[in-house]
Amino acid sequence: MDHCSEGTSPPSALERRTLPSVPWVSLAETLTWVAFGSAITVDHLRTQVEGHCPLITDDPAERSRKFFAGHYDEVGKVPGLEFFKERQSGLDRLTEAWNQLRNELERGAVKVRGRFTPTYSLADAHLAGLEDLTANLLGTFSQFDVSTGGIRRQPPGSPDVLWQNDPRSFDREYEAFGDDARAADGYLLVEVCRADLLKAFPARIEGTERPTMQRKRRGPAPDPDWPHAIAKVTQDCVAAGYKCPLKRGDKAAIQIMLLNFMAEKDKHFSDDTAAKYATAVIARLPDK
């Protein structure tokens, strides 16, 4: 989808917005609440991440033509706004919030729901029925899309949180037009139970802030053998008949296979690290 700033006016500098007083709040409001203590709508989030870039109204074919002609070279250089003035820092915090929310869902602390669309179309999603989204399903649809506030499958090498002008965004969009129809589907109009959210992240109630903590330095780059581990374990899982949605115990088995692969190279990692990379394997498994 092609979005930039669309004339919406973002909140004033670092204005803190409380969660709306409704039973269910959007995924964009949820993640920004967890990350920044401010519930930002998807339109404002998109504007903050992308900055005031020129409006793009081209269809995908025209966008592809201009991309290869080099006409979009400057778009990614537009600075972000508000919480994303340092864009990568803001995206890192949003990614951390996304992972925290998925952890809360896995332990049954929050409820999430959304509408499935095979074409990732908002019009299609409005006609679809609401579905409760499980932790296993979010392991498959593990990429948060800033442009729509929805979730999609996460191809290898694609980030947990994707915005339109990320250098990897074009590759992700190209896959959606490929031979594998699954690359085009996703969930839109995703919502989180407000009451559960406030219980899971109580420090955000009534605008209170988490205790000020020194930000951790960014850790070392991922081990270069992880892509090989993901590819090998995916191949083994497909051969063994693993399919989505996974059966009970399958995710743990995938983590063990990943850890064993790395251990053979005398590299040892925690279960949490294996769980992170297991999502990439799950995203590549066929559906039942």
Structural domain for 246, as ranges: 226-283
Q: Using a cut of 0.75, tell me whether the model's pTM lies above it.
A: no
Asked if the structure places residue 18 within a domain, the reply is no
> Smallest Cα–Cα separation from 42: which of 188, 261, 142?
188
Give the residue from 172, 207, 242 where a domain finishes: 207
pLDDT digit string, tens, across residues 43-80: 999 999 988 755 556 666 666 666 556 555 445 567 88
Kindly report, residue by residue over 196-231, the tens digit of the pLDDT: 999 998 754 444 444 443 444 545 567 888 888 888
Residue 19 located in a structural domain: no
Cβ within 8 Å of residue 167, ≥6 positions away:
76
Q: Does residue 121 have a pLDDT over 80?
A: yes
| 267 occurs within a structural domain | yes
Stretch 268-273: mean pLDDT: 84
User: Which of 42, 50, 38 minimizes the C-alpha distance to 149?
Assistant: 42
| % of the chain with per-residue pLDDT over 90 | 36
Domain end call among 153, 175, 207: 207
Q: Which residues sit opposite 24 in a β-bridge?
A: 193
Radius of gyration of the chain (CA): 19
CA–CA dist 26, 189 (Å, integer): 7
Helical spans, DSSP H, in 141-225: 169-176, 194-200
* Residue 120 confidence (pLDDT) above 50: yes
In 2-104, the DSSP E strands lie at 24-26
**What is the mean pLDDT of the segment spanning 129-149?**
93
Number of Cβ within a 10 Å radius of residue 217: 6
Same domain, 41 and 157: yes
Range in 58-67, 124-133, 135-144, 257-266 with the lowest mean pLDDT: 58-67
Task: Kindly state the DSSP code that residue 214 receives in the 8-state scheme.
Answer: P
265, 132: one domain: no
Query: pLDDT tens, 81-105?
Result: 889 999 889 999 999 999 999 999 9
- Give the separation between CA 101 and CA 31, rounded to whole angstroms: 8
What average pLDDT does range 16-25 have in this prediction? 90
Q: In this structure, what token pair is assigned to residue 126?
A: 């409005």
Instruction: From 207, 236, 251, give the residue that closes a domain.
Output: 207
Residues 117 and 230 reside in one and the same domain: no
Q: Are residues 195 and 234 in the same domain?
A: no
